[in-house]
Structure 1
């Protein structure tokens, strides 16, 4: 599984800089740069978002992470629509480590996959 770090602190799935979602989607089918991608799984933190995203929580990964500060234990399944990214293999990301950027993001359109490489 791919490990994903994220600096979109306002995302409901962000747990201390790691992605606490079980499944995420990187959008940007026709992207040729990282800024043309976005994490379409992004939801702004709040009670309503927390409740609506509860089924996508990576609870086993979050529990493992609580007890291990030496390595990243949370590894979401990452679906990728960026057709020209070299890590896209049959619509799944095969990079071992991914970083999603979105400092200050309040919507998915303000996020991007920094790992994107054409």
Structure 2
């Protein structure tokens, strides 16, 4: 596996761990599966980040809400397919990796706002 793919996987798990630690009520997880057998990236990897938060109100008022976003790593074509992040196709290089991680970071912050300190 190319070193950049390993760096990408490491970065995604670090991002999920960072966001999971900074909030009390939400859980942030990352999952890597593969090799894929079908399109869009046969022999590639699928990576998904999910945020699970309790519903507003009492904890017993239903199931927690979960949002997730995923992307594909095309190992044969040397590209990242991140349509769920509105990035379409990025090169599997440092610039593509940086752009993808930045978008994942923004996606997480949009779902888990910074905690407000009490006055």
TM-score, normalising length: structure 1: 0.26
RCO higher in 1 or 2 (8 Å CA, sep ≥ 6)?
1
Higher helix share: 2
